[in-house]
């Protein structure tokens, strides 16, 4: 096998050197002692948790929206399962399996873990073996044959012999270790750990965003479908009332004005149906996209009559406020970025100091294949090398200053992320409380309109009122039910928002 000659395989680089007086063992002990020195740069200090004492503090809304009936237990990771809707549970799992965002974030975590392993490997020694067989020829008038002119004698014969082609056989082992004197590797490992933590937080964020999007679109779909069903019932009631009014007008009991007014109201209600049907189709398509399905693939599954039942809203439990900062993925990612930026200062600072590299080489070299195994064919070298930065026009110091500014930026970003998190939590809790109050009021109104409708039916059966009064009461009851369905749908969405702003990321679903 022919291997091209490489300068590092030339014999002059493997000459025997006498070890320094200090000795190889002393060099190793000294390097190991220096490697245990304090790492360059500042140590990372975890920011203190920023959180209120309880969920009634740090609120900007009216006191009536600061409910304190909150359980001690935290919301479950698979929070959508509290609705008891098997179809929603299946949609969530299918979305995780099909999501390119979750898959990409998972791959980023795997890449960060692999990168950490690469950085950790820098702390240990490096061993390698090599072998080569090369065919060589030296120049008769090159640097290697220059001494022939000084020696005199039969130069031509000597030059012909030295420049004759020959085969060189080489093999050996190399060992090298750079002691981590100033903590460059340790700081690099800290940065790698921080990057891994950041990617893990972003993976949780991708899962949380996906789960929230699926639940939000699902509840919007269910609300729209209930509106469609109630609108059709109201259309039927108004059509019956129009028929009664038209009959009364034909009989001369009333004029045509109520008839035309009722006909206009019926047309206006029917005009709402196409928009509701379009919203239903769009919601189904959004869910299909989240599940990686084509348009129309989920229509039969999502429009089945059995799937239209309204799920009861689960009880709200938030856990301890101090744990929120540890749970929100964006806060965790901002903290990991700050930790990585702090470690980067140490990495840059370590470049200001000299580095020592300990190396050893043991091998054999011969231009005669038959003598390759001879003891006299051995070569070896042992000794340290030092790299001492002297002058670079401030480049290394400039890098340190840049890393310090980046660390300050990461600290500002972390503080802003925490403040934004609590602002979103305050808005979500206030919106949830307000929506709960609206639902309760509409439920009371729905009971009243239902009672009025039942009373009108009883009076109509007793001949006290005509059927038009019954139809009017029924229409009022249906309108309140539509308002209540819309409010209940918004309450479901508020529940989804609370889980999202609390960073309640699902775990173990992919």
The 3-class SS string of 213-241 reads: HHHHHHHHHHHHHHHHHHHHHHHHHHHHH
| Comparison of pLDDT for 202 and 145, the residue scoring more | 202
Q: Is the pLDDT assigned to residue 280 strictly greater than 90?
A: yes
Distance, CA of 83 to CA of 315 (rounded, Å): 10
Which tens digits make up the pLDDT trace of 178-189?
A: 888 888 899 999
**Owner of token pair 């979103």:** 424
71 φ/ψ angles, rounded to the nearest 5 degrees? -75, 160
pLDDT of 509 > 50? The answer is no
438 closest CA partner among 448, 430, 427, 450: 430
pLDDT of residue 306: 55
The pLDDT, as a whole number, for residue 67 is: 66
| Residue 507 confidence (pLDDT) above 60 | yes
pLDDT of residue 70: 56
Highest mean pLDDT among 66-75, 175-184, 272-281, 383-392 belongs to 272-281
- CA torsion sign for 290, 291, 295, 296 is negative
User: CA torsion, points 113, 114, 119, 124, in degrees to nearest 10?
Assistant: 110
Ranges of each domain in the chain: 1-35+126-180+354-388
Instruction: Assess contact for 456 and 470: CB atoms under 8 A.
Output: yes
DSSP-based helix, strand, coil % in the chain, nearest 5: 65, 10, 25
Higher pLDDT, 12 or 120: 120
Burial of 501 (0-12, 13-18, 19+ CB in 10 A): buried
In this prediction, residue 73 carries a pLDDT of 63
Give the integer Cα–Cα distance in Å for 339 and 328.
Answer: 17
Up-side HSE of residue 57: CA atoms within 13 Å toward CB? 8
Is the confidence at residue 6, as pLDDT, over 80?
Answer: no
Q: What is the rounded average pLDDT of the residues 399-423?
A: 94
Evaluate whether 34 touches 181 at the Cβ level (below 8 Å).
Answer: yes
| Selected residue with higher pLDDT from 314 and 285 | 285
Q: Could you tell me which residue, 276 or 366, shows the higher pLDDT?
A: 276
Pick from 360, 372, 358, 361: nearest CA to 9: 361
Nearest to 218 by CA among 345, 389, 120, 81: 81
pLDDT at 12: 38
User: What average pLDDT does this structure show over 133-137?
Assistant: 88
Most confident of 81-85, 273-277, 458-462, 505-509: 273-277
Sign of the torsion formed by the C-alpha atoms of 461, 467, 472 and 474? positive
Taking alpha carbons only, the member of 22, 8, 20, 31 closest to residue 125 is: 31
Distance CA 290, CA 95 (A): 6
Give the domain 1-35+126-180+354-388 fold: Outer membrane efflux proteins (OEP) (2.20.200)
Q: Which of left, alpha, beta for 153 (phi over 0: left; psi -120 to 50: alpha)? A: left
């Amino acid at each position: 096998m022919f291997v091209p000659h490489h300068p590092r395989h030339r014999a002059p680089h493997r000459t025997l050197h006498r070890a320094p007086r200090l000795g190889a063992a002393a060099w190793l002990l000294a390097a190991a002692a220096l490697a245990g020195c304090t790492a360059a740069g500042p140590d990372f200090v975890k920011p203190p948790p920023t959180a209120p004492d309880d969920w009634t503090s740090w609120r900007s809304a009216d006191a009536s929206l600061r409910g304190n009936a909150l359980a001690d237990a935290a919301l479950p990771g698979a929070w959508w399962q509290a609705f008891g809707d098997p179809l929603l549970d299946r949609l969530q799992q299918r979305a995780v399996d099909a999501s390119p965002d979750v898959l990409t974030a998972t791959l980023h975590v795997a890449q960060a873990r692999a990168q950490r392993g690469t950085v950790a490997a820098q702390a240990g020694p490096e061993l390698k073996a090599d072998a080569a067989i090369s065919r060589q020829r030296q120049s008769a008038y090159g640097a290697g044959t220059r001494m022939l002119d000084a020696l005199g004698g039969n130069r031509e014969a000597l030059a012909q012999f030295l420049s004759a082609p020959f085969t060189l056989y080489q093999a050996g082992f190399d060992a090298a270790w750079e002691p981590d004197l100033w903590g460059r590797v340790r700081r690099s490992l800290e940065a790698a750990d921080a990057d891994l933590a950041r990617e893990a937080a972003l993976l949780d964020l991708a899962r949380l965003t996906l789960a929230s999007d699926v639940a939000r679109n699902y509840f919007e779909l269910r609300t729209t479908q209930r509106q469609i069903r109630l609108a059709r019932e109201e259309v039927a009631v108004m059509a019956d009332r129009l028929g009664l009014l038209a009959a009364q007008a034909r009989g001369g009991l009333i004029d045509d004005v109520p008839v035309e007014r009722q006909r206009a109201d019926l047309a206006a209600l029917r005009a709402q149906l196409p928009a509701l049907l379009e919203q239903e189709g769009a919601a189904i398509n959004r869910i299909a996209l989240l599940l990686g399905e084509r348009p129309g693939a989920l229509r039969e599954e999502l429009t089945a009559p059995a799937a239209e039942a309204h799920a009861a809203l689960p009880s709200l439990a938030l856990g301890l406020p101090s744990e929120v900062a540890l749970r929100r993925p964006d806060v965790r990612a901002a903290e990991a970025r700050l930790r990585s930026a702090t470690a980067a200062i140490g990495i840059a600072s370590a470049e200001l100091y000299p580095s020592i590299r300990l190396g050893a080489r043991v091998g054999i070299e011969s231009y005669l294949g038959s003598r390759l195994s001879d003891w006299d064919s051995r070569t070896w070298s042992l000794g340290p090398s030092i790299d001492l930065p002297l002058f670079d026009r401030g480049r290394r110091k400039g890098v340190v200053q840049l890393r310090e500014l980046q660390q300050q930026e990461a600290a500002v970003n972390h503080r802003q992320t925490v403040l934004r998190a609590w602002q979103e939590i305050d808005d979500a809790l206030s919106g949830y409380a307000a929506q709960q109050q609206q639902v309760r009021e509409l439920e009371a109104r729905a009971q009243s309109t239902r009672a009025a409708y039942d009373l009108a039916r009883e009076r109509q059966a007793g001949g006290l009122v005509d059927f038009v009064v019954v139809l009017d009461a029924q229409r009022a009851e249906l309108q309140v039910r539509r308002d209540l369905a819309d409010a209940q749908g918004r309450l479901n969405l508020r529940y989804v928002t609370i889980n999202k702003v609390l960073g309640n990321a699902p775990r173990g679903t992919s």
